[in-house]
Copies of this chain bind each other. A is one copy, B any other.
Amino acid sequence: MVPHLVTALTGPLLDLEEKIIAATPAIERWFRLEWQEHTPPFYASVDLRNAGYKLAPVDANLFPGGFHYLANEMLPLSVQAAMAAIDKYCPDARNLLLIPEIKPRHPTYFQGVARLMQIFRQTGLNVRFGSLDPSVTQPTPLALPDGNMLVVEPLVRSPNGRRLGLKDFDPCTILLNNDLSAGIPDILTNLHEQSLLPPLHAGWAIRRKSNHFNAYDEVAKKFGKLIGVDPWMVNPFHAKCGAVDLTTGEGQESLAASVDAVLAKIRKKYKEYGIKEKPFVIIKPDAGTYGKGVITIRDAAELKELSEEQRKRMTVIKDGKAVTDLNIQEGVPTFESIKEAFAEPVVYMIDRYVVGGFYRVHGEKGPDQNLNAPGSQFVPLAFAQQHAVPDVKAKPGTAAPNRFYVYGVVARLALLAASLEMERTDPDPEVY
């Protein structure tokens, strides 16, 4: 269970790591001040890529599954953070309604939902599960991989229509663990008396990656200034390309131009820092992916050579939503591997607190590919790796806790960006 980091990291990341650890009090104070101005998402997970020469978030998930992959022993951190979060939204809360995915993308998904129940029970909440699946018309038990089970129940609006709950269960807080890729169901709209967390516009029915990346640009810039590093060290270049349909070829030229532009920017940075890698970009839909419809491109010419299968995959996204806007993101190769499989760290946060993480590992993918794909496995960051307290005297690149602290800092940069993103995209901003 203890990931062995086979990569020997050298060069600028060590410099970045050193600077982050030396600046710990300044960084933590800066976060403290930022969280006075901005409300962190209720919970989030952030995928990081550690290239050795740079360390950057590549995705921020506001409906994190996979809490069961966090090391058991670190559960108290989640409980403590959840206490702080609940205090903020509904300090009197007695009941929490959790709305999970209907058709989970991962076979152990509901195990993570059960873990969330365990966490929130410890904060003093009765937790029950409501289903968005119209075929769930009565309490329905679901068997869990560990032999336990949980029961999902039909959602019910109160007689006056103002509240959402279950039969004989009136929650103060409704926690979504469903990213709403399929659109916003009517039953979730016009709820004004209860806290719906995260808010509806955090779901992929409304959310756009480009808004997140734009907010992250600002955060990375501030952070770079704070600790005296090039923001690029924590931030991949990105560009958005609208109205693309690869099955018809519509917008393909404009996409190729964007790809070329991003590759050129990367090449310049690689030259500046003497990095010998071959630049590449990741193209993904602007409206959420689940790891589908993500491709790696090293040259704009490759776009013409995409197979029909690949074009289709870039077009048909979850629940049949067609791609129109694409994001071109600088590819950050992962230099971390576990037993010869490439790995990327995923960091979990509740409120503004880092509560754990794991490595996503894929045996059949390369260092320049998306690892969030069928066949990926999860290795919990074991205890010694996981605790967030850096050893200021450890030599950079050697101490696992130091690395995890640094991961926690960069993940929180993405968390802060998500907070800005949510503020700016809020359709009903006066409630903030």
Taking Cβ atoms with an 8 Å cutoff, the residues of A that contact B are: 24-33, 36, 72-77, 79-81, 83-84, 86-87, 91-94, 118, 121-126, 352-353, 383-384, 386-390
* Shortest distance from the beta carbon of A351 to any chain B beta carbon, whole Å: 10
Give Cα distance in the complex from A386 to B75, angstroms: 11
Q: Which of B24, B27, B72, B77 contacts A76 (CB 8 A)?
A: B77
Give Cα distance in the complex from A125 to B32, angstroms: 10
Q: Which of B28, B73, B79, B94 contacts A122 (CB 8 A)?
A: B28
**A24 / chain B contacts, CB cutoff of 8 Å:** 121-122, 124
Q: A33-B91, A33-B92 are in contact. List 15 more A-B contacts (CB 8 A).
A: A24-B122, A24-B124, A25-B124, A25-B126, A26-B124, A27-B124, A28-B122, A28-B124, A31-B124, A36-B91, A75-B389, A84-B84, A118-B389, A122-B388, A122-B390
18 A-B pairs in the complex with CB atoms less than 8 angstroms apart: A24-B121, A24-B122, A25-B124, A25-B126, A29-B125, A72-B387, A73-B73, A73-B384, A73-B387, A74-B76, A75-B387, A76-B386, A76-B388, A76-B389, A80-B80, A80-B353, A83-B353, A122-B388
Q: Which residue of B lies closest to A81 (CB)?
A: B80
**A390 / chain B contacts, CB cutoff of 8 Å:** 122
Q: Which of A73, A80, A87, A121 has the most CB of B within 10 A?
A: A80
Q: Are A383 and B122 in contact (CB under 8 A)?
A: no
Q: Which residue of B lies closest to A126 (CB)?
A: B25
* Number of identical protomers: 2
Q: A24-B122, A121-B24, A126-B25 are in contact. Are A32 and B91 (CB under 8 A)?
A: yes
* Shortest distance from the beta carbon of A353 to any chain B beta carbon, whole Å: 5
* Shortest distance from the beta carbon of A175 to any chain B beta carbon, whole Å: 15
**A74 / chain B contacts, CB cutoff of 8 Å:** 76, 387
* Shortest distance from the beta carbon of A86 to any chain B beta carbon, whole Å: 7
**A387 / chain B contacts, CB cutoff of 8 Å:** 72-76
**A28 / chain B contacts, CB cutoff of 8 Å:** 83, 122-125
**A81 / chain B contacts, CB cutoff of 8 Å:** 80
Q: Are B383 and A73 in contact (CB under 8 A)?
A: yes
* Shortest distance from the beta carbon of A39 to any chain B beta carbon, whole Å: 13
* Shortest distance from the beta carbon of A111 to any chain B beta carbon, whole Å: 16
**A32 / chain B contacts, CB cutoff of 8 Å:** 83, 86-87, 91-92, 123-124
Q: Which of A29, A126, A387, A390 has the most CB of B within 10 A?
A: A29
* Shortest distance from the beta carbon of A60 to any chain B beta carbon, whole Å: 21
**A124 / chain B contacts, CB cutoff of 8 Å:** 24-32
Give Cα distance in the complex from A390 to B94, angstroms: 19
Give Cα distance in the complex from A94 to B32, angstroms: 10
Give Cα distance in the complex from A178 to B352, angstroms: 32
Q: A25-B124, A25-B126, A122-B24 are in contact. Are A388 and B30 (CB under 8 A)?
A: no
**A25 / chain B contacts, CB cutoff of 8 Å:** 94, 121, 124-126
